[in-house]
Structure 1
Amino acid sequence: MKNSILITLIGFLTLSWACAPSTQITASWKSEEAKSGYTSIYIAALTEDLQIRQSIENEFSSRLQNRSVSTTKSIESLRPDFFDEREPSKDKILEAIQATNSEAILTVTLIDIEEEERYVQGGPVGGGFAPMGRFGYYGNFGGYFNHWHGAGWNQGYYVKDKEYFLETNLYDSSSLELLWSAQSKTLNPNDIESFAREFVDSMKKELRSEGLIN
């Protein structure tokens, strides 16, 4: 009975951990000059990786349009290899932004990637404590061997955790002053599409809570 409760509890905790969001906002800041309810935003994921750029910008565009915010993606107004340049032209990107008459500019930048190796503990297979005389399974070699030999076939293992640190900024398109900034970290994203959905969902919630979008 106790074993079944324990297994159920472990299963519940594992499921809860698996369902927990892997993107967390670690810090945010908002300018007193920021107004409420921006209705037009230019979106630029500042990365050379075209697939990531497309995924993040498309996801932001879709989510913000659901909040009655018109959007323009950099992928639509700048050539695909624009950010491949060693020093992309600031004037060119500003020219492209101003042509859209957007109220604000939303940028996403990858700040850092950290990898950490951790050990996942194994354990004996099928072994339960079975008392054998005064010293339990230590009482003779047979008892000790039967209790622990399974551990040799169920050893722990090492896994690598990868954390992505990003910064998302909102600028006024006229003054170019910073209006809002959020730093976030994402642990072990499964793939680009799922990462983009979860990351953008976290950012959208933060933008709404700050009153920057409706």
Structure 2
Amino acid sequence: MKKSIMIGLLSIIMLWGCSPTTQVTASWKADEAKTNYSNIFIAALSEDLQIRQNLENEFASRLQNRAVVTTKSLDVLSPDFFDSGEPSKDQILEAMQTNNSEAILTITLIDVEEEERYVQGGPVGPGFAPMGRFGYYGNFGGYFNHWHGAGWNQGYYTTDKKYFMETNLYDSESLKLLWSAQSRTLNPDDISGFAREYVDALKKELRKEGLVN
């Protein structure tokens, strides 16, 4: 019984560890949107150069794996383009059209929320599952000896961070919005890990809607 309980706990822990922290919370697609766009301009609208690099590089890599030609804003616009006060929309459009892009994919951080929560403490010791019919619960002495010295974890407060992103796809000629998705990421470990998971979630949505192969 003890072995089966341990296997069950390990399975739960593995599921928690594998569960995604990025979730697409809403999406919309225009009726006039085409299918299988093959040339896309990627622009992460961020003043943070590291975030911009990670997001654009990750999107370019994943889309190129789906036979999509990509142009990153970093390839044609200066690294400080988006922190220059009022970046020129015309410069973006010129760069996009020069590379014959069919659509422009924009990535924007729209909000960050912080929420403090209390993590309940609990007992720590050599084991918690009763053994036999009653195990150490059968009498007070056995119960006390089991818990004696096991200790008790004190609870603590932690702060969760939620990042809300918006990803849009625009037509290069009409500049109309073709597709939009909002997503939420909880407590990303680091920028590169966040970029991988975020792009993976959004790429699945793009494929599900038939916008890329």
TM-score (normalised: structure 1): 0.87
In the other structure, the counterpart of 1:124 is 123
How big is the shift at 1:5? 3.2
Percent of aligned pairs sharing the same letter: 65
The CA RMSD measured in Å over matched residues stands at 2.1
1: CA distance, partners of 2:155 / 2:137: 21
Q: State how far apart, in whole Å, the 2-side matches of 1:33 and 1:63 are.
A: 25
Q: Does residue 1:182 correspond to 2:207, yes or no?
A: no
Match of 2:7 in 1: 8
Deviation digits for residues 66-117 of structure 1 (CA, Å, limit 9, x no counterpart):
1111000000111000001222111222222222110000000001111112
> What SS does structure 2 have at the residue aligned with 1:15?
helix
State the Cα distance separating 1:169 from its structure 2 match: 0.2
Give structure 2 stretches of 5+ with no counterpart: 129-135
Q: Does 1:81 align with 2:76?
A: no
Q: Give the C-alpha shift of residue 132 in structure 1.
A: 2.5
Do the aligned partners of residues 114 and 148 (structure 1) sit closer, same or farther apart at CA in structure 2, a change above 3 Å counting?
farther
Please list every run of 5 or more consecutive structure 1 residues that lacks an aligned counterpart in the other structure: 138-142
Deviation of 1:188 (Å): 1.2
Q: Aligned equivalents of 2:96 and 2:29: distance in 1?
A: 22
1:57 aligns to 2:66 (yes or no): no
Aligned partners of 1:81 and 1:207: how far apart in 2?
29
Q: Distance in 2 between matches of 1:158 and 1:46?
A: 33
Distance in 1 of aligned mates of 2:163 and 2:148: 40
Deviations 1:138-167 (A, max 9, x none): xxxxx5x9847754x521222221111100
Once residues 149 and 159 of structure 2 are traced to their aligned partners in structure 1, the CA distance between those partners, rounded to angstroms, is 28
List structure 1 runs of 4+ shifted beyond 6 angstroms: none
